[in-house]
Amino acid sequence: DLVADLRAARRRFSVEFSPAHDEATAERQWRAVERLQALRPVFASVTYGAGGGDRAGSVELATRLVRETDVRPLAHLTAVGQSTAELADVLDELVAGGVRDVLALRGDPDGDPRAPWEPHPEGLQHADQLVRLALQRGAGTVGVAAFPLGHPESPDLDTDLRHLLGKVAAGARFAIAQLTFDVEDFLRLRDRLAAAGSDLPVLPGLLPVTSPRVLEVTRRLTDGHEPSWLHRRLDPFLDDRGAFREEGMQVAVEDGRRLLAEGVEVLHLYSLNAASNVEALVTELGLAGPEGAPDGAPDGAGGAG
């Protein structure tokens, strides 16, 4: 059970991949999968994109993990542009391919987070409905997205929390937090959940900002909430790729240490389909998992909660 493994925390990190669009990326990605497998992540998540090819690629990568590795896949799925019947088919395909765990997401219109949300006429309106559908179709553990700064469409943090708890009521058993630049944002989300009486396991995302391009990606996800300290640390290196990378890595290591010191058990690491940054973080933070089954623990080492 994925949540039992998260709570036991014998394995301390998860890693995220996105389906590759070309042969060269697919090959590089698979080499990354093989290298990271050796560090024993608790799961590897596979994002779900817009467009048929990308969607098929997502199912293919998740089921390939089952067939060719001992890494547990977590398949992201969104309700974008598909009827409920089509979503049920995708879920059946995943389950038939041995993928047990699903991250149920609403998604954004054709991948554009700024366009107003339009559900498919015969589809789903919110992620809580996809949580229910996934469980009906035989998914094992279902997770959802959580937003430290509130989802951009949420009027306030209380409403946002209510909707997160609605997804839990629908059957979600863990969440992965949207990236933020500030560890404090994540800790405040955790405090809000605790104040509401929830012990939902929430994984913080960690993406080392190792190039100006990655900085741009993160900026888009955090809607302008970019702290001035980050500028102060990275701006001096804008013209020196190597130094920028080193400083970005250092920031991620410091963030990871702070999260672990705050009692966070499992960190969700973004691979961007390459192994080296994840390997560096896992090594620096001491996150490599022990040999053996994730929650087997015949020695009784894990097993909290």
Q: Which residues are known to be catalytic?
A: 16
Residue 234 interacting with ligand FAD (CB under 6 A): no
Per DSSP bridges, beta strands 174-177 and 202-203 are parallel
**Binding residue for ligand FAD (CB under 6 A) from 61, 145, 193, 207?**
145
The one-letter amino acid at 99: V
Q: Nearest distance from residue 176's CB to ligand FAD, in Å? A: 4
Q: Nearest distance from residue 247's CB to ligand FAD, in Å? A: 25
Residue 210 interacting with ligand FAD (CB under 6 A): no
H-state helical runs in 196-296: 212-222, 228-234, 241-261, 276-285
CA dihedral 230, 231, 233, 238 (to 10 degrees): 130
How many binding residues for ligand FAD (CB under 6 A)? 23
- Non-local CB neighbours of 77 within 8 Å, separated by 6+ positions: 48, 87, 90, 91, 94, 102, 103, 104, 105, 130, 134
For residue 263, how many other CB atoms are within 10 A of its CB? 8
The whole-angstrom separation of Cα 115 and Cα 223 is 14
Residue 186 interacting with ligand FAD (CB under 6 A): no
Q: Nearest distance from residue 49's CB to ligand FAD, in Å? A: 6
Residue 287 interacting with ligand FAD (CB under 6 A): no
Residue 128 interacting with ligand FAD (CB under 6 A): yes
Residue 48 interacting with ligand FAD (CB under 6 A): yes
The whole-angstrom separation of Cα 66 and Cα 69 is 6
The whole-angstrom separation of Cα 45 and Cα 101 is 9
Task: Specify whether the CB–CB gap between 74 and 46 falls below 8 A.
Answer: yes
**Binding residue for ligand FAD (CB under 6 A) from 57, 73, 107, 123?**
107
Instruction: Give me the 147-176 binding string for ligand FAD, x by CB under 6 A, dash otherwise.
Output: ----x-xx-----x--x--xx--------x
**Binding residue for ligand FAD (CB under 6 A) from 64, 120, 126, 233?**
126
Residue 218 interacting with ligand FAD (CB under 6 A): no
* Nearer CB in complex with ligand FAD: 168/176: 176
Q: Is 288 helix (H, G, I), strand (E, B) or coil?
A: coil
Residue 223 interacting with ligand FAD (CB under 6 A): no
Q: Nearest distance from residue 237's CB to ligand FAD, in Å? A: 28
Q: Where are the beta strands (DSSP E) in the chain?
A: 13-17, 44-46, 73-78, 101-105, 142-146, 174-177, 202-203, 205-206, 267-270
Binding site for ligand FAD (CB under 6 A): 47-48, 76, 78, 105-108, 113, 126-128, 144-145, 151, 153-154, 160, 163, 166-167, 176, 178
